[in-house]
Amino acid sequence: MKVLVSIVCSLSILQAKTHPSPSDPQATEEVKILLKRLHDQSGKGIMIGHQDATA
């Protein structure tokens, strides 16, 4: 049983890591390109972001 759970967990992790896709099936092409670029940059350093809360 432990082997089966380990295999299922491993396959789930591999699938999640290798195939980025938007959660919204109606995402625009721009969003898909942005998601791909972010995924391509992951693992190459540290990404930071900032939200302008006063805008």
pLDDT, tens digit (0-9, with 9 covering 90-100), for 10-37? 887 776 656 677 889 899 999 999 998 9
Quote the pLDDT of residue 32: 92
pLDDT at 45 over 80: yes
- Burial code (b: 16+ CB inside 10 Å, e: under 16) for 10-40 equals eeeeeeeeeeeeeeeeeeeeeeeeeeeeeee
Quote the pLDDT of residue 2: 87
**Cβ–Cβ < 8 Å for 33, 14:** no
Hey, where are the domains in the chain?
1-41
Q: Is the pTM of this model over 0.85?
A: no
How far apart are alpha carbons 50 and 18 in whole angstroms? 27
**Residues with Cβ < 8 Å from 21, sequence gap 6 or more?**
35
Quote the pLDDT of residue 55: 66
- Residue with more model confidence, 20 or 9: 9
DSSP 8-state class, residue 54: T
